[in-house]
Chain A
């Protein structure tokens, strides 16, 4: 069977798990193509009006996969929580319903399941058994084996992230994560940290190719999902208490950790325009940047984002970093 996975939202976190599970059961995984204008446009026209661009783009990816004749199912999981008492954005938790109401005609093709990522292997096993049943796999031994393969792959992907390989590299070398692990990361004179939800940070079409732009000017780019959560646990104290949303915690505390790191020259947050959750961590980082004096810039994207202003701001931010390090504006 061919299982389609939309390249959006939690794809940028749990793709290895899903990939490992489905391929181990002998199915093919088909990814939608990286976001482009067509995907964005179909997404914008099929999603409800006042929702963030990340969700709209996700609609586009689902539609793209639904339009492929050889895709049997499109995997749209409902991820509710990722950590104890930490949840996902309510819009993401409602994803299968939103998708169902947008694409009623293809309802049968949608493969959806409720997932709690924080409740241990047993809960995961239950969830994936359900997925298995829906695609005709009733053998519990096989499910267990496939889940184990998925978890192994996810762990390996996490190791790659810890070694500062970004998630896009993980995606492109998903079949060979071992060699990615061995691959050294290039050191550069400057390092810029990106804080934000993985699906905003890694979707280059949406955010004006921030990662590529930075790498092209010889900047090392690190992302908050590369950090071991233990490293930034203590920043809860600064925030008085943890935020309700897991990914916002990662962005806020990870961003603060990077602001305190000597080898990080500046932090850029990336968020989508009407994301209320981002507004919270952005403000927290604003306050922390004031204390540490580490350069911080917010990039907010929506479907109207033009390139011109974005490029100017990225360039000016890099100038600011260079000058701060004592390098001039010229001949560097």
Chain B
């Protein structure tokens, strides 16, 4: 029986499901838009992946499961994770495996963008956008819709541009009015898209790198790294080649799958994985306002087949401490 490890990265816009084999190689990686609830997307991804790998390898055994991304906690209780890891560490782990002498990692996802600084194979510093979505995939998505060019073609268009127009990248709202203005002045879609790509990179570097030392090798990953226009804009901005690793879109899920595998190997524990049967279980979530004190915390409840399996969101632990014996969330 083939032994596999599973990694799930639940992001704000997309969900990634990855299965890796005994050599840590990705044998199946799915990149799905999180439509509706992330739970449905996770299950859909698992069903699809399961069908594919059983067809190819026959019976399989999942020996470790890791979750990451902003929905890592939710994914963790649904599938029964051995490791719930923040996306910065997961992304860095996969990037270092792929490019061992990487020094700077650019990661652009749906609503998050991060920069991670690596020295001698270890993370030494990082930064993450906090409140502003300018400089993320959502921003590009939104503008693509405006211009009427499918996001997949964005890169192609950008490359065709001969003289990119300058567009304010500070803020989505300003960028948009800038763009409309340039359109009305007669700039072509190509030049505008190239200008947008440049402004996105400029904004990213201004916001996150903030005068920190950018050393090669540069690795660029996350959904936006599919966009050749942005890659070129990055290369221009840093004046150096920018490597887009294989599995660039699923690095977080890949990283956490490997980490979960290490965890199980080192501790010798049994996996918490609940099995592929979870795709058939009924999961509900519920939000309510706790009336225990003036904080009125938003408490989230996850219900599996009518039984509550997790609470979170309460500051004091009034709810989340109720189920400690049942909920297995790694504190790390």
Binding site for B on A (CB under 8 A): 33, 36-39, 205, 209, 216-217, 293, 295-296, 300, 304, 308-309, 311-313, 315-316, 318-320, 323-324, 328-332
Of A293, A296, A312, A330, which is within 8 A of B87 by CB? A312
- Residues of A contacting B323 in the complex (Cβ-Cβ under 8 angstroms): none
Interface, chain B (partner A; CB < 8 A): 70, 83, 85-89, 93, 112, 122-126, 128, 130-131, 259, 262-263, 266-267, 293-296, 315, 331-332
Which residue in A209, A296, A312, A323 is a CB contact (below 8 Å) of B123? Answer: A323
* Chain A neighbourhood of B112, CB < 8 A: 309
In the complex where A217-B332, A316-B86, A319-B86 touch, is A37 in contact with B294 (Cβ < 8 A)? yes
Other 19 A-B pairs with CB < 8 A, given A328-B266, A329-B85, A331-B262: A37-B295, A38-B294, A39-B294, A209-B315, A217-B331, A293-B124, A295-B124, A300-B130, A309-B128, A313-B86, A313-B128, A315-B88, A316-B86, A318-B332, A320-B122, A320-B123, A323-B123, A329-B259, A331-B267
Residues B123 and A319 in contact, CB atoms below 8 Å apart: yes
Are B293 and A36 within 8 A (Cβ)?
yes
Least distance between B306 CB and chain A CB atoms (Å): 28
Residues of A within 8 A of B130 (CB): 300, 309
With a CB–CB cut-off of 8 A, which chain B residues contact A217?
Answer: 331-332
Per the bound structure, the CA–CA distance linking A329 and B265 in Å amounts to 13
A-B pair count, CB < 8 Å, reads 79
For B122, the closest partner residue in chain A by CB is A323
7 closest A-B pairs (Cβ-Cβ)?
A316-B88, A38-B294, A315-B86, A330-B263, A331-B266, A319-B89, A330-B262
CB distance A308 to B331 under 8 Å?
no
Q: Nearest CB to that of A212 among chain B residues?
A: B315
How far is B142's CA from A317's CA once the two chains are assembled, in angstroms? 32
Flag if B123 contacts A330 (CB, 8 Å).
no
Enumerate chain A residues within 8 angstroms of B262, measured Cβ to Cβ. Answer: 328-331
- Residues of chain B lying within 8 A (CB to CB) of residue A300: 130
Contact yes or no, B126 A330, CB < 8 A: no
Give the complex CA separation of A329 and B88 in angstroms. Answer: 12
Inter-subunit contact B124/A313 (CB<8 Å): no
Residues of chain A contacted by B131 (CB below 8 angstroms): 304
Q: Can you list 21 A-B pairs with a CB-CB distance of less than 8 A?
A: A36-B295, A217-B331, A217-B332, A308-B70, A313-B126, A315-B86, A316-B86, A319-B86, A319-B89, A319-B123, A323-B122, A323-B123, A324-B122, A329-B85, A329-B259, A329-B262, A330-B83, A330-B259, A330-B262, A330-B266, A331-B266
Tell me how far the C-beta of B287 lies from the nearest C-beta in chain A, rounded to whole angstroms. 14
